[in-house]
Amino acid sequence: MTAKVENVKQGKSKFRLTLKWRDTLQLSVLTIPTIIWFVIFSYIPMFGCVIAFKDFDYRAGIWGSKWCGLKNFQYLFASNDAGRILRNTLFYNAIFIILGIVIGVICALLLEQVKNKTMIKTFQTSMFLPHFVSWVVVAFIAQGLFKYDSGILNNFFVKLGMAPKQWYTDTKPWPIILIFANVWKTVGFNTLLYYGGLLGIDQTLYEAAAIDGASTMQRIFKITIPMLMPTITILFIMGVGNVFRADFGLFYYIPNNYGSLYSVTDVIDTYIFRSLKVSGEIASSSAASFFQSVCGLLLVLGANRVIRKINPENAMF
């Protein structure tokens, strides 16, 4: 028995050195379908983003259209839309990142205090539920809340003796509504993320802290948060990398694409969609789309570099 194990172990080192070309070939064969997929659905569109520098002609396609330099970008940034969509996208995403981390960590800490298994599962399941419905379904819920004549909020206002509100023409409540909707949909997922991290923390650290007389708050800020830092950082980098990418469903369907609300609800993704599918303005949508992709890439690299300087262990690459 031991001899056999010994053999296998020797075999291991041998194989490492002499993976035959036939084996390499077979392993390569396994990767081919996915490589083809990546080429067709990721890499060719990457080159296709040169469309932003072209005067797109439907008959000529991406490759056949004429180059036009930075004209599309000039067109985009000369319009009033550019400032609006940039401001909204960055504003909402910054808030979503911060709230995602803060509320996720808080709920995870709360959940960790619960010891009853059934209760843990009940809380988890109910908080996770919104994650599993699409924004379209949420849009129907939003209608139920905001409709002028029959919506729940206006019904409530009327019962209190207040005048019903035209929700879809007043821009003021919408930042709050959108932020709330986002938190509502992501809270379960974020909580689970950090809860998983919490369970991985070595319990002896807490015991030692308790012996030293550390208070709950001290334990949270001196042990829990530092131990969660790797998870928080990765999510932060990912969040920063996606800061130019807005959740289309949220911004398109919750405000029901009402033009009167664009000043606070229009983001890059809804703008691209409208220009592409509704008004057919390829110039501005391709410029916005290219801008979005390149900024995303630069931000991920930048954020990662900064974090590498602070603490190389937390960096993503």
Quote the DSSP letter at residue 147.
-
- Pattern of binders to other proteins over 156-185, x per CB under 8 A? ----------------------------x-
- Pattern of binders to other proteins over 104-133, x per CB under 8 A? ---x--xx-xx----x-xxxxxxxxxx-xx
H or E, element range at 67? strand 66-67
Is residue 80 a contact point for other proteins (CB under 8 A)? no
CB atoms near residue 257 (< 10 Å): 17
- CB distance 104 to 187 below 8 Å: yes
- CB distance 272 to 285 below 8 Å: yes
H or E, element range at 182? helix 174-199
Interface with other proteins (CB under 8 A), residue from 68, 145, 198, 227: 145
Interface with other proteins (CB under 8 A), residue from 2, 34, 118, 204: 34
CA dist., res. 287 & res. 175, Å (int): 26
CA dist., res. 187 & res. 190, Å (int): 5
Of 92 and 151, nearer to other proteins (C-beta) is 151
Is residue 147 a contact point for other proteins (CB under 8 A)? yes
- Kindly identify the residues of this chain, within the stretch 82-101, that bind other proteins according to CB under 8 A: none
Which residues, 6 or more positions from 308, have their beta carbon under 8 angstroms from its beta carbon? Answer: 315
Is residue 150 a contact point for other proteins (CB under 8 A)? yes
Radius of gyration of the chain, Cα coordinates, nearest whole angstrom:
26
- Pattern of binders to other proteins over 267-306, x per CB under 8 A? --x--xx--xx----x--xx--xx-xx--xx--xx-----
Is residue 214 a contact point for other proteins (CB under 8 A)? no
Report the nearest approach of other proteins to the CB of residue 105 (Å). 13
User: Which region, judged by CB under 8 A, interacts with other proteins, from 77-85, 93-101, 202-210, 229-237?
Assistant: 229-237
Is residue 228 a contact point for other proteins (CB under 8 A)? no
Beta bridge partners of 55: 66
Is residue 2 a contact point for other proteins (CB under 8 A)? no
Which region holds residue 151: left if phi is over 0, alpha if psi is between -120 and 50, else beta? beta
Report the nearest approach of other proteins to the CB of residue 237 (Å). 9
